[in-house]
Chains A and B, each alone.
Chain A
Amino acid sequence: MKPRPPTMRGKQRYVLARLDPPSLAVSGRDLYYAIAESLTSLYGDSGMACMEPSVVSCTGGYAIIRCTRSSEGRVVAGLAAVHQVQEVSVAVRSIRTSGTMRSLRRHLAGMTPRAPLGEQDAYFQGRSWTGVKYPGGKVDLFEKGFKNQQPLFLTEEDLEE
């Protein structure tokens, strides 16, 4: 079967989104289900079908979501309404919309890396925590001995006090 020529295909838009917290590894499939649930609850099945959203890439704390042209505004609203992926709190923050993935990847290359700078033991509110440091003086605290708990989001200045 011959592939459909580009001029006969529907136009697409690509939305670059940042996933927070950066320590969380979210798979593309889980993210798609969360976005689909959010869009369906906001716009219904017919609206969701018109948008044709799909997660094209999901690596390094960023995701690229594809949708049909003219539906990108609704997809951005749907992304803003995602607050959990697999019952874990996340934030999906749309950064930029483009007509090509190449321009989004070029934009992504110019952004500051979000990898953690290291871990340190911290003492906060009379308890021991494991602190994960990020660029910009950000520190996420995970309480020692507790699994799957929500971290505290602080800055280095908060720990110094």
Chain B
Amino acid sequence: MRCTDACVYPFPLGDSSVRRMAQEAGELGLDSIVAVGAKRCIFRGVEVVGGTVIQGTNPGEVQAALRKLGGDPGILMANAGDYAFNKALLHMSRVRVLRGIHATPRNSFDHILSRMAAERQVAVDLDLSLLVSGRDYARQKALQRYADLARLQSRTGFPLTLSSGARSILQMKSTRDMISLCRLFGLDEDGVEEAFLGIANILRPEKAVEVVE
């Protein structure tokens, strides 16, 4: 898992099957995708990891949604909100990725929460679909927030993930396209490569001591 698209929405949420998305991801230079609502599998050499996005506006709703989850929900992602809500999300051990941070107030994720995210290995997702489909103020705001997050990440080292947010194979982005889009908000190639590893680091965190046979 060296290059992962951290969030795609296959059929029925989108117009492309998870297999077709995996195949397309392979052609675009990715080796794994996180597919919302899909089960873990490997298709034509591309690893598909299941994911679930939890919609909730307060910690109680998120806790209730977490309790309702059955089976293997895969990687749990939650939509970010204000400062207190984000702090509560970081304390929930099952939530691994914060999404939609561009739509939150500027002070909702500061240096303190970023240090907390680094300690707990909770990633912050950068959804590149906003840079593609957004226009004018929406795109400018997303670029500002992403630039701010990239600066915070370089100082505190919390995991970043990159996602195309694709609901169709036409919205999926190649590694080359992702690198060029990330340059728009100041994330350099090394930063992008690190962000591609974000999901792998969450799934297989580095341990202090590891026994290798």
Contact = CB atoms under 8 A, between A and B. Distances in A.
Interface of A: 20-21, 41-42, 73-74, 76-77, 79-81, 83, 89-91, 93-95, 136-138, 150-155, 157-158
A157 B183 contact: no
Nearest to A154: B17
Q: Is the interface of A mostly helix, strand, loop or mixed?
A: mixed
B88 interface: no
Interface in B148-176: 168-174, 176
B2 interface: no
Nearest to A24: B170
B107 interface: no
B46 to A, nearest CB: 12
Contacts of B132: 80-81, 83
B21 to A, nearest CB: 8
B20 interface: yes
B169 A153 contact: yes
Contact of A83 (B28, B133, B184): B133
A43 B130 CA distance: 16
A136 B19 contact: no
Interface residues of B, number: 29
Contact of B177 (A93, A153, A155, A157): A93
19 contacts: A20-B170, A73-B183, A79-B177, A80-B132, A81-B132, A83-B170, A91-B171, A93-B177, A94-B176, A138-B23, A152-B17, A153-B17, A153-B168, A153-B169, A154-B19, A154-B20, A155-B19, A158-B17, A158-B20
A81 B133 CA distance: 7
Contacts of B173: 80
Contact of B16 (A80, A136, A153): A153
B76 interface: no
B170 to A, nearest CB: 4
A80 B178 CA distance: 8
Contacts of B135: 41
Contact of B15 (A76, A93, A153): A153
Contacts of A151: 15
A152 B11 contact: yes
Contacts of B16: 152-154
A77 B180 contact: yes
Contact of B23 (A74, A76, A95, A136): A136
A94 B20 contact: no
Nearest to A76: B180
Contacts of A77: 177, 180-181, 183-184
Given A152-B16, A153-B17, A80 B177 contact: yes
Which of A41, A81, A151, A154 gathers the greatest number of chain B CB atoms within 10 Å? A81
